[in-house]
Amino acid sequence: MKRIWIAAVCLCLCIGFAGCAAPAGPAPREPAAEEPSPAEEQTQPEEPDGDSVLLPDIERLREGLSELTDLYVPTEITMDSVRANAGTYQKITAEQAFLMIRDIENAAVVDVRTQEEYDAGHIEGAVLVPNESIVDAQPAVLPDKEQILLVYCRSGVRSEDAAKKLLKLGYAYVYDFGGIIDWPYDVVQ
């Protein structure tokens, strides 16, 4: 009986000491001067629940992804890259559309929203061709089927639909850059 009792005490001591042992992995770092001492930590309130602790990390992740995305936006658009995509639906960013407007003379900006939305504010130089008006016939304001068309709407839904309809009508270079809500540049009224 005495051996069982000694074994039990030893087991309890081992379990107790195991909890105090340093975890496997990298060595713990020394606390910085501005970090509170263990005694001060006990008097400070508990940290918020897991959701609020994660928010700064999510924001840092978004910033990092934004920086990575910025790396892949070209600084110029060439006619060779445009010709390579002839006859296919192309989704581009507002930044890429801006570069195309700036760098390519034959680019037309096409607003496929309603007249009221257009009047409230549109991209400078944009022609209005409401999505609902694009059916079976070529829009009169877009006579050149070889012209580069940069299509947008409010949020990106109608611009995708309109871009695909324009391709079916035989336009060769149609680019959808989504919605004006994502356009970071000036608009006119």
Say which CATH topology domain 89-182 has. Oxidized Rhodanese; domain 1 (3.40.250)
Q: What was the pLDDT predicted at 85?
A: 87
Q: What was the pLDDT predicted at 52?
A: 43
CA pair distance 178, 150, nearest whole angstrom: 9
CA pair distance 162, 168, nearest whole angstrom: 10
User: Can you name the residues that pair with 174 across neighbouring β-strands?
Assistant: 149
CA pair distance 99, 148, nearest whole angstrom: 13
Q: What was the pLDDT predicted at 53?
A: 43
| Overall pTM > 0.75 | no
Task: Tell me the H-state helices in 35-125.
Answer: 38-43, 50-72, 79-83, 94-103, 115-120
Positions of the chain with pLDDT lower than 70, given as ranges: 1-76
Q: What was the pLDDT predicted at 121?
A: 97
- Strands 127-128, 107-111: pairing kind: parallel
Q: One-letter amino acid identity for 39? A: A
Task: Tell me the H-state helices in the chain.
Answer: 2-20, 38-43, 50-72, 79-83, 94-103, 115-120, 157-168
